[in-house]
Amino acid sequence: AQKITQTQPGMFVQEKEAVTLDCTYDTSDPSYGLFWYKQPSSGEMIFLIYQGSYDQQNATEGRYSLNFQKARKSANLVISASQLGDSAMYFCAMREGYGTNAGKSTFGDGTTLTVKP
């Protein structure tokens, strides 16, 4: 079974509108972390936001927020006020494990977001 599922291969949003990118995860570990990364067409991978499994509040970083619903095992990325520069592929990832595995993450297949002017 996939550990990270991103069900939207592609999404479109109008400039200045908000958009939600879906991510569900599967783990039996009580301690884990969830990440979102952005990959523009130039190819680099950029860390956006992090949510720990024990964090009480949803993470926010500027226009990015993570809608963390632990019971549903979902960690959706919300981008507010979309800009043309937000057009990119977005990856959800999860870290779990301990010891030498603590830093290892599993990535989803990604969602391509296109912002329309």
Partner 1 sequence: DAGITQSPRYKITETGRQVTLMCHQTWSHSYMFWYRQDLGHGLRLIYYSAAADITDKGEVPDGYVVSRSKTENFPLTLESATRSQTSVYFCASSESAGGRYEQYFGPGTRLTVT
Q: Please tell me whether residue 63 adopts helix, strand or coil conformation.
A: coil
d(CA 4, CA 116): 27
Q: Does 109 bind partner 1 (CB under 8 A)?
A: yes
- Segment interacting with partner 1, rule: CB under 8 A, options 19-27, 67-75, 80-88, 92-100: 92-100
Q: Which x/- pattern over 45-84 shows residues binding partner 1 (rule: CB under 8 A)?
A: xxx--x-x--------------------------------
Q: Which stretch binds partner 1 (CB under 8 A): 18-26, 60-68, 75-83, 107-115?
A: 107-115
Phi and psi (nearest 5°) for 100? Answer: -70, -10
Give the pairing of strands 10-14 and 111-116: parallel
- Binds partner 1 (CB under 8 A): choice among 44, 56, 85, 117: 44
Measure the CA–CA gap between 110 and 53, rounded to whole angstroms: 21
Q: Does 91 bind partner 1 (CB under 8 A)?
A: yes
Residues 6+ positions from 70 with CB-CB distance below 8 Å: 53
Helices (H), the chain: none
- Applying CB under 8 A, which residues contact partner 1? 33, 35, 37, 43-47, 50, 52, 91, 93, 95, 99-110
